[in-house]
Structure 1
C-alpha cells in the first residue's frame, strides 16, 4: 500500500463521526485482537497436541524396541544354554551307532532339559537342533536331521559363508511347527555348531512367533497408525492394518517403503520425520536395532486428529464470535446513550457560536459528559462576564487615549517652561541650576517617552547618572555612583527602566536612612550565555527576616507584605524581565543588615 492510499485511509477515518470511531476502535483494539489470539491459541493447541501425539508414538516405538531387545536376549540365552550343554554337544558330535538304552538315556537326561527350557520361556516358540550326524534318529520336537533345512536357500548361503556364525531370519516360515505344514510366521535365530577343527556338527534354531517377538504391535488395530519393519537385506514385515492404511493413502506398499527409506537418515539410528503423502499430513518415528539389522517404522496420520481439533476450534470460534457480536451490540447501545448527552452539548455550542448565550443543558448524572456540560455552562457564564468587561475596557481605553493626548500636551508645556527657566539661569550665570534643569529635562523625556519598550544599556545608565546628579542636589553630593560595564554589552537592548527603580530603592531604603551618604556600584559583564548586572549599595541593608521573605517572593512569584514598600520595585522589575525573556531570568537580592545590599539582574546574551 503506497503513501497516498494510506493518507486517503487516514482522512476517511478522521471523517467518521465519534460513534463510528468508537466502534472502529473497539473492533481494532478488542474484537480483532481477541479473534487473532483465539485462532493463534487453537493453532498452538493443535501443534502441541500433534507434538504430544508424536511423543506418545515415540515412547511406544522405544518401548517396542526395548521389548524386542529383551526377546533377542532370550534367543541368545537359549542358544548359549544349548552350546554350554557338554553332554548334548558330545552326544551329537559322536559319529557311531547308538543303542536304544543310550538314546533313551540321552532323551531323558539331556534332551528333556532343553525342552524344559522351551516351556519355561513362554515367549520362545521352539528350540531345535539340526544335526549333521546320521547315526542319531530325529527326536521331535527338538532334534532333527540337517537335511530338513537344505531346501531353504538362505540356509545354503549361511552354510557356505564360513565367517558367518549366526543368522537372524525375520518373517520366517516354520514348516516343522505343530500342526505340520501350518506355515506359521516366526522370527528365527540360526547358530552354527562346529567342533574344534571347524567341522559342522549342526545348527541351533531358536524361534518365536512374529507377533510375540514384536510385542503384539503388528496385530494391533489402529485407524491412524501402522507399524512396518524393514531389514537391512530388504525384507519387509507389515502390520495387520497395513492394507487398509495403504488404501486410505492411495499408495502401494512398495512406494510407501521407498518413501520411508528415503526420508529416514541412514547415518542416524532414530528420528522423527514429518511429511505429506498424497496431500495427507503424516509423520513417522523410526529406530534402528543393529543386532537384528532392522529398522522399526511407526507411521501416523494427522487427518482424523486434525478434523477433531478443527471441529473443536470451529465450535470455540463460533462461541467467541457470538460473544463478540453480543458485546458489540451492547457497546453500540451504550455509545448511543452516551453520545446523546454529547449531542446536546454540541447543539448548545453551535447556538453560542451563532451568538445565542441563553443556552441550558439538562444535567442529571456525574459522568464525564455531564461534567463537560457543566464546565461548558460555566464557560458561557464567564464569557458573558468577559464580554461585559471587554466593553468596559474599550470605553476605558478610549478615555486613556484622550488622557494620553492631554498628557502629551502637558509634557510639551513642561519642557518649554523648563527650557525658559534654564535660559534665565544661564542669563543670571547660575550654571549649577542650568545643569540641574538640563538633567531633569532629559530624565523627564526618558521616563515619559514610551515609544520604545527596549533601550540600550548605555541609555539606561545615562538616565541613572542624571538621576544621581539630581539626587545629589538634595543630599549635597553625598551619593557616589561607580559604573564598571563591559563595552561589549553597552549597546545591548534591555527593557526600559529596570535599573532606575533598583537605584531609587538603594537611596530611599539604604543610603538615606543611614544618614551619612554612600556609594552605589553598577557592574555589568558577560558570564557564559548570560548578561549579569549587579547594583550594590553600602547603605543600611535589609533585616534578615524581611530579606528571606523578599527572596522567597521573588523565587516563587508570590505576593508578600514586603511589596508594600521596598519590595514593590523589585516585584515590578522581576515580572517585566520574566515576561520579556522567560521564567529562568529575573533578579535576585542579597543583603547584610548594616553593611550592604546587592541586587543581581540576569538577562540572556545572544552572541550572534
Structure 2
C-alpha cells in the first residue's frame, strides 16, 4: 500500500509539470537509470573478476606452500625412519646392562654421531630426540633422554595409543624438555612415534621437531603484508599462527568468528569462502593437509579492492552526472525552441476558451505542431460557420413553430370531422364504417404524433392492427393477422413505422396477387436470442424463387435508388429504407433480410438490439 501511495504521489507531481519539464525529466531518467544499472553491474563484474584473479593467484601460492610443507613432512619422516633403522643405535638403547666407559665413548663417537649428522645434514630440523624407558641408558644431549622427562606432555598418551603410528603435534611457546625458560619463536611442530622393540614392548618415543617458521615459510614470511595472513587449523580446531603478525589485531578480527565461518564452508564443501567483519570483506582460501590432519588458510583482506572499486565507480558516476547535466541544459534550450510554436498554439486556445473566435493562428512549417495549428484554425472557421447556422436555424425554428401550430389546428379540425362522420355512421347502423373510421383516426394520430423516432413494439403492433382492419374493409375480410409476441417483449424498442411498410408489401405484393378469393395470413413473431430481438413477419402469399430472393436481399442492402424490389409505399418508406434506418441507428450488424419459397411464403426478418424502453435492456 505504501508503494502504491508513493507511485500516486509521484504521478501527481509529474502531472503538475509542464511538457518541457516532463521531457527533460524523461530525458534524464532514460539516460541516468540505464547508466546506473550498467555501472553497478559492470563494477560488480570487475569486482568479482578481481576477486577471482586474487583467488587464482593465492591458490597457486597455497599449492606451492603445500609442496614446501610436503617436503618438510617427508624430511622429518625420513629422518625418523633413519634413526629407527639404525640397529646399532637401537641395540644400545635397548640394552639391559649398564655400559662401561669405553662402550659409552664408542657409542657417542659412532652411533650417536651418526644421528647428530642426520640433524646437521637437515638444517631445517631443530631436534632429534629419543626418550627411552631403559634405566641403564645414560642421557646424552641433545639426542638421548629419559622418558620421565616427558611424562607430563599432553601428547605422550596419544603416541602410545597409536602403537607405532606417527603423530604430528603443534607446540606453541612451550617449555623446553631440558626445563629451560621458554624463549621467543620456539613454536614448533613435532613428529612423534613409539619405539616398541621387540614387538609390543614399549622401548621409548622418538621426536623429530622443526620450528614453525621453517615448516610454514609463508606463515612467517608475510610479516610486511598487512592485507593477508596464513593460519592453520588442526583437527581440534586449534589455531596455529604467527603471533608476531598483527593482522587479526589490526583488522579487529575475532579468530573464533573465522573458525565458525570455516566450519560453515566445510559443511558446504567449499575450497574458498568470503565473510565480512566490521564491514570489511575478506576472502579465505583453504588447503587440506592430509598428513597433519589440519587445514592451511590464507586470509586476504579485500578492503583495498573494495575501496578501489567504489572509488572507480563513484568517479565514473560523477563524470556521467556532470555530462548529463550539461546535456540536459542544451536539451532544455532545444526543447524550448521546438515547443515555441506549441506554446503559441496554447495561447490561441486560451483566447478561444474565453470566447474570442477571431484568433488568427499563424504557425508555419510541416511538422506535427504546424499540422495541429492548421486543423485548429480550420476548426475555428467551422465553429464560426456553425454559430452563423445556429442563428439562422433559430430564426427558422420560430417560423416552424408557427407552421406546427397551424398544422395542429388543421389536424384537430380533421379529427373532429372524422368523429362526426363516425357518429353519423353509428346512427345509420353502419358499424363497419364506424370501425374503419376509428382505425383511420388512430392511424392518423399515430402518424402525426411524431415526437420520437422510437416506440414500443406494442404501439407499432396496434398501428398494424388498425392498418389490417382498414385493408379488410377494402378486401371484404380477406386478411388475417396473427401476433405471437411474449408479454415481456411488448416493451421492446423499435423504430416508428418500421413494421408497417413490410406488412403493406406483404399484402400488396404477396397475398393480393395470389388469390383474392382466399384468405391471406400475416404472422408476426418476436423472439430474443443473445441480446438480439428477432422480429419475423411471414405471409402465405405467392413467394419468390431463390434467384429473386437473392436479388431482393442484394438490393435491400445496397444504396441504389432504383432497386426493382424496393417495395416503396406512398410515403416513400420501403423495406430498403427500413433497413437503412436500422443500420443508421443501431449499426451494420443489425438490419433486414428476406427468405422465401415460391408459391408458399415470404418471411422478412428484422434484427435489432434487445432493449426494453420500460425497465432497461432485456436480460435473460
TM bucket (normalised to shorter chain) is 0.7 to 0.9
1:533-548 alignment, distance < 5 Å? 533-541=535-543, 544=546, 547-548=549-550
- Report the equivalent of 2:346: 346
Over 3 Å counting, the alpha-carbon distance change for 1:448 and 1:262 in structure 2 is closer
1:189-268 alignment, distance < 5 Å? 189-196=191-198, 201=203, 203-208=205-210, 210-214=212-216, 216-220=218-222, 221-229=224-232, 236-238=240-242, 242-243=245-246, 245=247, 248-249=250-251, 257=255, 260=258, 265=263
8 Å Cα contact 1:510/1:541 also seen in 2: yes
Deviation at 1:219, TM superposition (A): 0.6
Matched residue SS, 2:218:
coil
Distance, in Å, in 2 between the alignment partners of 1:492 and 1:197 is 119
Deviation at 1:325, TM superposition (A): 1.2
- Report the equivalent of 2:601: 596
Deviation at 1:535, TM superposition (A): 0.9
Matched residue SS, 2:339:
helix
Distance, in Å, in 1 between the alignment partners of 2:563 and 2:398 is 31
Distance, in Å, in 2 between the alignment partners of 1:531 and 1:66 is 93
Matched residue SS, 1:482:
strand
Matched residue SS, 1:521:
strand
1:489-504 alignment, distance < 5 Å? 489-490=489-490, 494-504=494-504
Over 3 Å counting, the alpha-carbon distance change for 1:12 and 1:58 in structure 2 is same
Deviation at 1:336, TM superposition (A): 0.9
Q: 1:523 aligns with which of 522, 525, 528?
A: 525
Provide structure 2 residue ranges, at least 5 long, that are not aligned to the other structure.
613-617
Deviation at 1:376, TM superposition (A): 1.8
Deviation at 1:369, TM superposition (A): 1.8
Provide structure 1 residue ranges, at least 5 long, that are not aligned to the other structure.
none
Distance, in Å, in 2 between the alignment partners of 1:296 and 1:308 is 28
Matched residue SS, 1:390:
helix
Deviation at 1:340, TM superposition (A): 0.6
Deviating more after overlay: 303-312 vs 83-92: 83-92
Deviation at 1:37, TM superposition (A): 2.3
Matched residue SS, 1:48:
helix
Over 3 Å counting, the alpha-carbon distance change for 1:158 and 1:441 in structure 2 is closer
- Report the equivalent of 2:615: none
Deviation at 1:222, TM superposition (A): 2.4
- Report the equivalent of 1:467: 467
Over 3 Å counting, the alpha-carbon distance change for 1:572 and 1:168 in structure 2 is same
Q: TM-score, normalised by structure 2?
A: 0.74
Over 3 Å counting, the alpha-carbon distance change for 1:535 and 1:417 in structure 2 is same
Q: 2:144 aligns with which of 137, 143, 146?
A: 146
Deviating more after overlay: 409-418 vs 29-38: 29-38
Deviating more after overlay: 91-100 vs 396-405: 91-100
Q: TM-score, normalised by structure 1?
A: 0.75
Deviation at 1:224, TM superposition (A): 0.9
- Could you give the per-residue CA deviations for residues 501-522 of structure 1, whole angstroms, max 9, x where no partner exists? 2212323443345465732111
Matched residue SS, 2:220:
coil
Matched residue SS, 1:163:
helix
Distance, in Å, in 1 between the alignment partners of 2:345 and 2:318 is 41
Matched residue SS, 1:522:
strand
Deviation at 1:314, TM superposition (A): 1.4
Deviating more after overlay: 205-214 vs 440-449: 205-214
Deviation at 1:547, TM superposition (A): 4.8
Over 3 Å counting, the alpha-carbon distance change for 1:417 and 1:233 in structure 2 is closer
Distance, in Å, in 1 between the alignment partners of 2:384 and 2:324 is 48
8 Å Cα contact 2:228/2:300 also seen in 1: yes
- Could you give the per-residue CA deviations for residues 443-485 of structure 1, whole angstroms, max 9, x where no partner exists? 2122212246555544332321221232234445443322333
Aligned length: 585
- Report the equivalent of 2:361: 360
Distance, in Å, in 2 between the alignment partners of 1:390 and 1:204 is 125
Q: 2:574 aligns with which of 562, 565, 569?
A: 569
Deviation at 1:296, TM superposition (A): 3.8
8 Å Cα contact 1:61/1:296 also seen in 2: no
Over 3 Å counting, the alpha-carbon distance change for 1:285 and 1:360 in structure 2 is same
Distance, in Å, in 2 between the alignment partners of 1:12 and 1:22 is 14
- Report the equivalent of 1:158: 156
Deviation at 1:34, TM superposition (A): 3.8
Deviation at 1:487, TM superposition (A): 4.2
Deviating more after overlay: 82-91 vs 415-424: 82-91
Over 3 Å counting, the alpha-carbon distance change for 1:464 and 1:127 in structure 2 is same
Distance, in Å, in 1 between the alignment partners of 2:535 and 2:158 is 120
Distance, in Å, in 2 between the alignment partners of 1:459 and 1:172 is 116
- Report the equivalent of 1:324: 324
Deviation at 1:195, TM superposition (A): 0.9
1:435-514 alignment, distance < 5 Å? 435-451=435-451, 455-490=455-490, 494-514=494-514
Distance, in Å, in 1 between the alignment partners of 2:378 and 2:51 is 67
8 Å Cα contact 2:493/2:611 also seen in 1: no
Matched residue SS, 2:221:
coil
- Report the equivalent of 1:383: 383
Deviation at 1:308, TM superposition (A): 0.9
Deviation at 1:433, TM superposition (A): 4.0
Distance, in Å, in 2 between the alignment partners of 1:144 and 1:381 is 122
8 Å Cα contact 1:229/1:296 also seen in 2: yes
8 Å Cα contact 1:172/1:188 also seen in 2: no
Distance, in Å, in 2 between the alignment partners of 1:306 and 1:330 is 36
- Could you give the per-residue CA deviations for residues 196-250 of structure 1, whole angstroms, max 9, x where no partner exists? 265565654445564453253431352311123466596743177x14x36744x
Over 3 Å counting, the alpha-carbon distance change for 1:465 and 1:61 in structure 2 is same
1:405-424 alignment, distance < 5 Å? 405-422=405-422
Distance, in Å, in 1 between the alignment partners of 2:407 and 2:90 is 149
Matched residue SS, 1:362:
coil
Matched residue SS, 1:539:
coil
Matched residue SS, 2:498:
coil
- Report the equivalent of 2:20: 19
Deviation at 1:531, TM superposition (A): 4.8
Matched residue SS, 1:311:
helix
Matched residue SS, 1:363:
coil
